[in-house]
């Protein structure tokens, strides 16, 4: 890999309010080696002149489903893994070209696609995978029809079989966690409340017992990782937090008490507002029932309030999108929705520094500093002043770099 120097870029830092000054960034292999003014470049080096443009760490999306390319998840039973993978390859490439250099898959992907990206066989963001989410019988991840009386979830060759694993009781959940970790999961995902996209469970239905959650969390901790929990209702959120869950996904119906508990526990909220906005326009045509659409209306109306409650309590707030079907092109619009109550700097902090902390990679991701991965976006404008710079499918990102490799460069070299 050729060493690279990015010259004349204004390095943005979410923690520094001062006007960014011109710097050079020296990159060797996949890391940033040195930053400063007028760096002396070694002989065999590629020089890219940023011309005074802005440099931002690569964006991180901590709740994605590139393998769930169906708005109506029940229809995944008709999708073979080959088609699912072909769709995911395009989705992953487009995410990278929007500036998302790292993603946390929240169920659906496996170690094979992660390795394909890592090996350069597939162009896409660095991946942290959950493999299959754990769900109780009749929970958010149980998409069997009411007439299906098979106890075990189908293991046949379609995409739905890769999204969740039904496990009940302490022994079953312990084995399920160990199995997902054996298969390469970076973190464990569980369903602790009803969901919008599942047709048969009430939204605020608590799922999994305290004992089951504690076993899941304990098994994850033994492997040095953590549990992320799909949760909407305040009761389910509190149950998850009290028993060691580290990140609350969605959390739209959180209350002040649950938000204060999250802050006390050092937990994170990962909102996913753009998916509700898109689904409000598309879900009915995809076959969602009236009950599902009613749940969608409730969580969509509550999303910004949940973020505000968590901000007031001091909860660290990440950045996720949770898009499904053919809606992944709306990924960057999450910034615009959250701008109703947060500053651009706060939202970008969520999508860089805080998400890196969620991934337990604070020194390597979400920052531009020596020793960090060379995940770098060169932008035509300052996103702290104008979030539109992050829109338009990366059109205002002339350079996108992931791990020292150039995914896009439209500047004259």
Other CB atoms closer than 10 Å to residue 198's CB: what's the count?
A: 24
Distances (CA, A) of 35 to 7, 20, 215, 269, 412: 10, 13, 45, 33, 22
Q: Are 378 and 11 in contact (CB under 8 A)?
A: no
Domain boundaries, the chain: 3-58+366-409, 59-358
- Provide the CATH topology of domain 3-58+366-409: Urease, subunit C; domain 1 (2.30.40)
Q: State which residues of the chain have pLDDT below 70.
A: 71-72, 145, 147, 149-162, 413
- Can you give the pTM of this predicted structure? 0.95
Give the residues across from 253 on adjacent strands: 233
Q: Are 99 and 59 in contact (CB under 8 A)?
A: yes
**Residue 23 CB contacts under 8 Å (≥ 6 apart), including other chains:** 9, 10, 11, 35, 36, 37, 55
User: What is 59-358's CATH superfamily?
Assistant: Metal-dependent hydrolases (3.20.20.140)
pLDDT of residue 159: 54
Q: What is the CA radius of gyration of the chain?
A: 21
Q: Are 50 and 44 in contact (CB under 8 A)?
A: no
pLDDT of residue 76: 73
**Residue 94 CB contacts under 8 Å (≥ 6 apart), including other chains:** 328, 329, 393
pLDDT of residue 154: 46
Whole-angstrom distance, CA of residue 186 vs CA of residue 78: 28
pLDDT of residue 124: 98
């Amino acid at each position: 890999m050729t060493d690279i120097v990015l010259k004349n870029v204004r390095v943005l830092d979410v923690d520094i309010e001062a006007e960014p000054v011109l710097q050079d960034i020296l990159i060797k292999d996949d890391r940033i080696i040195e930053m400063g003014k007028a760096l002396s470049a070694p002989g065999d080096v590629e020089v890219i002149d940023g011309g005074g443009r802005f440099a931002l760490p690569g964006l991180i999306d901590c709740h994605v489903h590139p393998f769930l390319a169906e708005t109506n998840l029940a229809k995944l039973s008709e999708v073979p893994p080959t088609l699912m993978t072909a769709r995911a390859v395009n989705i992953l490439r487009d995410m990278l070209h929007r500036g998302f250099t790292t993603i946390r898959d929240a169920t659906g992907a496996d170690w094979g696609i992660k390795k394909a990206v890592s090996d350069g066989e597939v162009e896409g963001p660095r991946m942290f995978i959950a493999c299959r989410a754990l769900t109780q019988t009749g929970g958010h991840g149980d998409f069997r029809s009411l007439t299906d009386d098979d106890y075990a979830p189908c293991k046949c060759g379609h995409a739905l079989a890769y999204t969740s694993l039904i496990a009940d009781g302490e022994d079953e959940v312990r084995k399920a966690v160990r199995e997902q970790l054996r298969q390469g999961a970076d973190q464990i995902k569980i369903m602790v409340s009803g969901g919008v996209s599942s047709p048969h469970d009430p939204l605020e239905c608590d799922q999994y017992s305290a004992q089951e959650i504690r076993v899941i969390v304990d098994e994850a901790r033994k492997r040095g990782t953590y549990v992320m929990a799909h949760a909407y209702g305040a009761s389910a959120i509190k149950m998850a937090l009290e028993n060691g869950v580290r990140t609350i996904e969605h959390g739209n119906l959180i209350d002040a008490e649950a938000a204060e508990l999250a802050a006390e526990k050092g937990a994170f909220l990962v909102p996913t507002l753009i998916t509700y906005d898109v689904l409000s326009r598309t879900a009915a045509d995809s076959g969602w029932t009236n009950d599902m659409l009613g749940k969608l209306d409730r969580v969509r109306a509550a999303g910004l309030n949940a973020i505000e409650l968590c901000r007031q309590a001091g909860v660290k707030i990440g950045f996720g999108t949770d898009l499904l079907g053919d809606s992944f092109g709306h990924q960057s619009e999450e910034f615009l929705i959250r701008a109703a109550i947060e500053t651009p700097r706060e939202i970008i902090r969520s999508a860089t520094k805080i998400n890196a902390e969620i991934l337990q990679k604070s020194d390597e991701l979400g920052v531009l500093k020596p020793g960090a991965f060379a995940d770098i976006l060169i932008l035509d404008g300052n996103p702290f002043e104008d979030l539109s710079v992050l829109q338009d499918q990366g059109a205002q990102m002339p350079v996108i770099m992931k791990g020292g490799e150039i995914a896009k460069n439209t500047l004259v070299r």
